Structure 1
Amino acid sequence: MPLQMTGAPSDPDLIRLPWDVPLEEWPEHHLVTLPRGISRHIVRFARLSGRVYAIKEISERYAKREYQLLWDLNRLDAPAVEPVAVVTGRREAGGEPLDSALITRHLQFSLPYRAMLSGTLRPDTLIRLLDALAVLLVRLHLAGFYWGDCSLSNTLFRRDAGAFAAYLVDAETGELHPVLSEGQRNYDIEVAHINIYGEMLDLEAGGFLHSSIDPLAFAEQLCRRYHRLWDELTQEEIVEDVEWHLIDQRIRRLNSLGFDVAEMMVRRKAGTARLIVRPKVVDSGHHQRRLLRLTGLDVEENQARRLLNDLDSFRVAKGLRHEDEAIVAHRWLAEIFQPTVTAIPPGLRGKLEPAQLFHEVLDHRWYMSETAGRDVGLEAALRSYIDTVLIFKPDEKAIIGAPETDATGL
């Protein structure tokens, strides 16, 4: 069988990579060093035409299966890495067959959780990672996806304002169904619990876990957080006819979690004056979609919430309460957001993505203003942030030359 690349590769140079060489023996000039999590398979990163691709060596059957699952998840707008192609028919120069390869696009500004280790991982950072993982698992389950191997290691994390956003990076054990049964969901949670407990024990053995964290209790938190979020999104609510405002509160709670309500199912309870109400939650991204509609900025959910809050403050400060929202957004973009981002020296712009950078400048302005007892203004906060914070941050767009993070590294 001849070498074959199947998918939607956007770079013709992909086919010219040394597919007749085992992935672990690829010459360095084809590779870029990025932090990566633990994997059962050989994974390497290649840079072509300014883009970075993750390449995983895996059997043909599983490469094709995972490619299709990732393609389906992207079609459903689920948080997962983007599949590019599958390479089959690989053979060494002597004719020996090689495993196939799955190519995915590297998620910019994302990191595996182990790459966030700096001394001892703080409890609040771990909690935020766990929250992001719980939201990811709920979103996948709402889409009908059974993961089968949920763990911190199989997830990539991007900073999202003060929290993290999680993305599925390994789908080889997954299954896509029209709807998941309660048993499938519970088993997925049980697997996640076992995996995370093992990961916490691993961190503890390596001296990277804070002494206040109990690995078992921490893993159990994922289950509690998942079930609390799932119930908020899916459970029915019984209200009196005169208590319709409770439903509005429910919708607001769902929006605060980043989820939209597509429609409401309302039915009257037999023999009573009560109503049974169940919202139909379509997906997360309430604030993302509003910001994208108003400004064209495509950012993470918490970042969108923070930027929208600043936009609303701008509206009040400029006396534009009665002005059309789209016009206000255009002015905020031109007068506040874009000047702030473009003021960053070119050599520092790879440190953080623009939305995260803007969020951190706002945080820095708040702390400076608290210390000074007055609003120091955005311009002064930006200068201080660049000089005292940004220059010391690692480059999260592509950490070139950093040691790879794997099991032996711990």
Structure 2
Amino acid sequence: MHPDPSPRAAKLLSDLRGFMAAHIYPNEQLYHDQVAAERWAHPPILDELSDRAKAAGLWNLFFSGEQGQNLSNAEYAPLCEEMGRVHWSSQAFNCSAPDTGNIETIAHFGTDAQKERWLLPLLDGTIRSAFAMTEPAVASSDATNIACSIRRDGDDYVIDGRKWWISGAGDPRCAIFILMGKTDPDAPRHKQQSMILVPRDTPGINVLRPLTVFNYDDAPHGHMEIVFEGVRVPAANILLGEGRGFEIAQARLGPGRIHHCMRLVGLAERALELWCRRLKERVAFGKPLAEQGVQLERVAEARMAIDQARLLTLKAAHMMDTVGNKAARAEIAMIKVVAPNMACKVIDWAIQAHGAAGISQDTVLAQSYAHARKLRFADGPDEVHRAQVGKLELARYT
């Protein structure tokens, strides 16, 4: 169905798998120990792993540009799956959200000055970023509701509003926000919003609290609730111009959805591996769990569901590469429903097979489930994507 990856992409995947085996899996516990010791500090092991990844040529794998690997979406997707097997590992390769989307946004829509100030250090991994869109006071699944004010005042814009679920804002290296807000409430519905670059150290930015996902705070990355109060930035910080926010958002979200979904495939694949090993090791009611009928049925269902989600995501990636994001919008919407729901189901079954250990800190499964469940909201809730798929399907018959 899809072309074979280029020899270079195949080698990158082989090298990445070797790197994961040699450096990521052996340091999983150390990473968690360092985060537990100082929750909102940068874990030193990430610097060591990042240096190794740069030296191995496994840096900025997602990026198409001078500092990246220039892979197609379909070529990058299997790399995403491999990194997704460990929730935090994409950071070691400078391939983690929201930086990937923010880097692509600045690369495509930023001015030369904006690229010099923010893009280069993001690509080098010396700073991190956050994307400030969602708001607590409105249904942000309909982004036209976003009310945060971006008001022109002379040579500046002044920002006032409340944002939450701002992923990455907890990281001490976070230096820049891309913020979406309203510049003209009287403009046509999809021309009211704009995006603007807001340096993290600008006066008036107040972080209220980290939000938790089933009591996981995702430190030091974090999902923060933030008040922007009289935040003043130069007018030159606007991206592309006033009223272009939705245009930027559509370009930004397509590739990111591929990344999320393939990482979820990797997360589910690892859960299935842990589950199958557990079934081989445990005996209940006089025979191994692997011989229990319900487990055999669930393992088979999991295998089929993972492969189906992978193929659908690869199809979406291939279409984005060949016919463009707009023509692939139904497939992109479908994978955002299919992949998180698949991962939730597979990880839940793996938890059940592990018994009480599955909900403890002794396995990665509980945190994996929390992450997968969260992604049924990120980049749009299931209901929005289903509605889009339904409308596009019905439109074929008009």
Superposition TM-score, scaled by structure 1 size: 0.22
Q: Which has the larger radius of gyration?
A: 1
Structure with the higher fraction of residues in helix conformation:
2
- TM-score normalised by L of structure 2: 0.23
